[in-house]
Structure 1
Amino acid sequence: MDDHRGGAVSHAAVRIDLSAIRDNVAELRARAGAADVMVVVKGDAYGHGLVPAARAAQAGGATWLGTAALSEALALRAAGIGGRLMSWLFAPGERWTDALAAGIDVSASAPWTVEEITAAARETGRTARLHLKVDSGLGRSGAPEADWPALIDTALKAQAEGLVNVVGLWSHFAIADSPRHPTNTAQIAAFENAVAWAEARGVRPEVRHLANSAAALLLPRAHFDLVRTGLASYGLSPMPDVVGPGDVGLRPAMSVRARLALVKRVPAGHGVSYGHVYITDRETNLGLVPLGYADGVPRHGSGGEGDPGAPVLVGGRVRRVAGRVCMDQFVVDLGDDDLRAGDEVVLFGDAAAGEPTAQDWAQACRTISYEIVTRFAPRMPRTYIGMEEAL
């Protein structure tokens, strides 16, 4: 089934296998042991489609869902998604009353957040479910150790008034994709100390959570009561230099496919695309793929001047982007193969099917697979397979 959007292209699609998300989450659930699983669906479920991916995750056994932006959490509730749902990235003046009315768990890293949530609780008459975040070493959000007591005291005061219920204590890893890195041990210890301090002050959390995908897979000591799985839920490895998806029972849910728009024969010495960074070294066939950086194809996947270019599968062979990726198109050198307009091009998909992967594109573009799968634009239609009940 296609999710047709206004102005969507007809010559390409992002294909999402919802059964892969379901099965990946089931595998992660099995590996989590006694801990519950929160599937993180921020960023439109890492580009996989917020609502369908959330339903597939719940079918796989996720008991929690998580978003960074409150707008996505509210969109899930509007779509009828139930269960535990947490949102955590806020600036002053958020839609707190909407969050409380929708039964969304919220997070605080500083007293001002607790105070705004408390005001919304007074206004709505609803008790907020609150998670308190400590910076255990990532240096991003979360209260630093010196500010943790003030955050705890502010939250406990609001809890004593019946305005909030502190249900979670949490933090986030910096280097869990290198499981033997000493920072991981230091962060676990810092988190345990922060939890112990909060509990000594009277906090009784339902869940303590620290583990991301990498830690859920390879750091069982960090599982605590809940693991938060993002990238792994979609079948990609958060630590590709350590373990591949297939090694831990995961398979990618997303593939990006297009059809050749043009095939033409050109002579040796023919420049290809802007800047002529790729010049043919023989008479050859060039194939035009009608996708570019406006669709989400990274310009860093361009090939030429010593850069091999990102891989694509065309005509049963893996080939490379030739020349610069443009706004709406890029070129592939097809050699002497007899291919025609309309033939399928797979940018990335499942290695088990002989297709390039999002990780292959990440390596070619000197980035991470997270960026590859999240960047495809709304004009690219999403085609869903595998779970009609999730649509």
Structure 2
Amino acid sequence: MTESAPLREAVIDLGAIRDNVDALRAQIGTEHLYAVVKANAYGHGAVPAAKAALDGGADRLGVADLAEALELREAGITAPVLAWLHDADADFDLALRADIDLGISSVAQLNAAAAAAERAARPAVVHLKLDTGLSRNGIAPDAWASAVRAARAAETAGLVRVAGIFSHLSGTDAESDLAQADALDRGLSEASRAGLDPEFVHLAASGAALTLPRTRYNTVRVGIAIYGVSPFPHREPSEFGLRPAMTLRSRVVAVRRVAEGQGVSYGHTYRAPRDTTLALVPVGYADGVPRQASGRADVLLAGERRPIAGRVAMDQMVVAVGDAEVAVGDEVVLFGDPETGAPSAEDWARAADTIGYEIVTRLGRRVARRYVAQ
């Protein structure tokens, strides 16, 4: 790392995303695979991550909302894109013009899509989302029958094409997830009785796609796993043949020696157990580093993992290095590929009592992204 490099940098290995998708396709074996690139591709950068995922064999892309879908279209990505989270004022006219598939969670949304289709003189491509037990968005079970009949009527009128039916798992445990698969089967039977014949059926995201074949159907939506982060708190991505795509790094900006007993950072929650060298790293919770990991997480510095000393501040943290030789400008890796000796996103998640998803997704805008293809 040179002095001209950014103070805070997330290096994104697009080759890892490509290879992870290829590995996932081989393991999961479904006919179709959605690469989920919502939330700026879980912090990795939506457009470059989407392109890498498509290079790896994903045939479709998934996002949360229309703005995210439009970002992909504006970047020239033409692969099918499904957006599934809409408010009452969502611009379905624009979605149709941009050839975006719509996840539909209510009859009201279905009607809005049909109205946009009538104005555009072309059918809206929709995927009906059934609530099978997560109790978030999705058509409630007591409305399935009326919703699929309405969808069939709109399809017969040439206003929509029901390309898919899907749901989302709670991930509570295998038994609960399999019960949701049973519920989805009932919804599919209801849809069939109404005359619907969707091409795509999808339920599993990363966790279930990897471990519960019953939930795969003919399509899966894989998000966190394509970035080489484990969907399970106590299992490493390497178990599934995946490698982390993101390395978060910075450098030392100050070094000082303190005496035994000296307090460090706010509240002096850390006191040096002996005479100790401290390294100042200009990354803090404004950059997405969880304050909850204060005093619990490590970084890679001077060839070894070193502990954070005291509280993570807004813009900086202090690392205790004992008697190691460190200097201003030395590279600090907060997390990355553990094969390099660095902590992983999962390590940071455990230190912060959270999940790896949050660690990579929450990085702030001061963290520069740099893309490599290894």
**Superposition TM-score tier, normalisation by shorter sequence:** over 0.9
In structure 1, what is the equivalent of residue 302 of structure 2?
Answer: 315
Equivalent of 2:191, from 184, 198, 206?
A: 198
Determine the C-alpha separation between the residues in 1 that align with 2:175 and 2:100: 35
Provide structure 1 residue ranges, at least 5 long, that are not aligned to the other structure: 1-7, 304-308
| 8 Å contact from structure 1 (residues 101, 126) kept in 2 | no
Q: Does 1:353 align with 2:345?
A: no
Q: Is 1:329 the counterpart of 2:316 in the alignment?
A: yes
Equivalent position of 1:5 in the other structure: none
Residue 131 in structure 1 maps to residue 127 in structure 2: yes
Amino acid at match of 1:287: A
Separation of aligned partners in 2, 1:236 and 1:281: 34
**Cα shift at 1:126:** 2.2
* AA at the equivalent of 2:259: P
Distance, in Å, in 1 between the alignment partners of 2:327 and 2:340 is 22
Q: CA RMSD in A?
A: 1.3
Partner of 1:26: 22
Could you say what secondary structure the match of 1:203 adopts? coil
Q: 2:214 aligns with which of 221, 229, 232?
A: 221
Cross-structure match for 2:232: 239
Aligned partner letter, 2:229: L
- Select 2:325's aligned residue among 323, 338, 344: 338
The amino acid that maps onto 1:203 is L
Sort the Cα spacing of 1:9 and 1:90 in 2 relative to 1 into closer, same or farther, 3 A. Answer: farther
Q: Distance in 2 between matches of 1:34 and 1:87?
A: 21
Residue in 1 aligned with 2:139? Answer: 143
Q: CA deviation at 1:9?
A: 8.5
The answer to which of 156-165 and 49-58 deviates more is 156-165
5+ residue gaps, structure 2, are none
- Give the distance between the partners of 1:248 and 1:281, measured in 2 at CA: 40
- Percent of residue pairs identical: 48
Q: Is the 8 A contact 1:35 1:223 kept in 2?
A: no
Match in the other structure for 2:250? 258
**1:51-105 CA-partner distances (Å, limit 9, x unpaired):** 0000000000000000002101011001000111100001101011111111110
9 and 109 in structure 1: CA distance in 2 versus 1, 3 angstrom threshold:
farther
Question: Which residue does 1:274 correspond to in 2?
Answer: 266
Note if 1:11 corresponds to 2:15.
no
The count of aligned residue pairs is 371
The residue that corresponds to 2:287 in the other structure is 295
* Distance in 2, Cα, partners of 1:112 & 1:251: 42
Q: 2:244 corresponds to which letter in structure 1? A: P
Given the alignment, which residue of 60, 64, 71 partners 2:67?
71
Structure 2 SS opposite 1:198: helix
